[in-house]
Structure 1
Amino acid sequence: MLDPDQRRTFAALADVLIPGSDPMPSATAAGTPDALLDQVLGYRPDLAEPFAEAVAWCTGKDPEAALDALSVQQPEQFQALTLLTAGAYFLSPRTKAALAYDPPPRTAHDDVNSYIDMLATVVDRGFVIR
């Protein structure tokens, strides 16, 4: 989707948005400018155009200054850029490993109808103390 120059520009912007800090990787260390970006663009094709416009607008400029100006002058493009950057970042296996988050167990889906059928047998039999 993006040519190598656009990916380099995006990588510089992404590292300003998400710098590395112990234990979290930076955006480029997490792999956001590569296949992960393509993956999130596949999920949100509606953001491809404003994202490309944001990258084009920032090309050749200092990344930090470009992002500051983009957020004020082109908020829709800035939002597309930041949303896709964050989405790609949290898809990264390196980011997930650094989070060390163990999700809670999935809730069981109760089959209420089978419980009602079992209880119907007890009700039909009646209350018996043995």
Structure 2
Amino acid sequence: MTATSHLLMPDERRVLARLADVLVPRSGDMPSASEVALCNAPIDRALASRPDLLPTVRALVARARDCHAHEFVREIEKDDPIALQALLQLIAGAYYMLPEVRAMLGYAGQARR
């Protein structure tokens, strides 16, 4: 368990997973956020790297709890672009840190020169 994992409750992870699937849907051979269980250990690793995003993401999750995910993302895109940017940074960061995603993209990571 990471230092941040206790900060996201199971219901928060479920809401975040719905939002993540809007932001990272299945596309061709690339898996969706839920297909790689993004809101479990991967989101914990991303939050460990970017703990500053946690308050904004938790506030968004609380606002999104009873909303349709697609509509909520469209709403914050118009009304709260800074919060959307934080959410995108967290979700995209967690997604592209996954070895299986990087392998599908043919990206082995940074190399020393």
- Structure 1 CA distance for aligned equivalents of residues 111 and 99 of structure 2: 20
- Change in 2 beyond 3 A, CA 1:105/1:89: closer
Give yes or no for contact 1:53–1:77 (8 Å, CA) kept in 2.
Answer: no
2:76 to 70, 76, 100: 70
- Structure 1 CA distance for aligned equivalents of residues 111 and 60 of structure 2: 40
Query: What runs of 5+ residues in structure 2 fail to find an aligned partner?
Result: 1-6
- Structure 2 CA distance for aligned equivalents of residues 80 and 103 of structure 1: 23
Give yes or no for contact 2:102–2:108 (8 Å, CA) kept in 1.
Answer: no
1:85 aligned partner:
91
Greater RCO, CA 8 A, separation 6+? 2
Query: What runs of 5+ residues in structure 1 fail to find an aligned partner?
Result: 108-130
Could you state the TM-score of these two structures normalised by the residue count of structure 1? 0.75
C-alpha distance after superposition, 1:40-69 (max 9, x if no partner): 111111111011111111111110000010
1:29 aligns with 2:44: no
- State the shift of 1:94 in Å: 2.0
1:8 aligned partner:
14
- State the shift of 1:75 in Å: 2.1
RMSD: 1.7
- Structure 1 CA distance for aligned equivalents of residues 44 and 110 of structure 2: 29
- Structure 2 CA distance for aligned equivalents of residues 84 and 24 of structure 1: 18
Moved more, 91-100 or 50-59: 91-100
- Change in 2 beyond 3 A, CA 1:104/1:18: closer
- Structure 2 CA distance for aligned equivalents of residues 7 and 19 of structure 1: 17
Counterpart residue type for residue 89 of structure 1:
Y
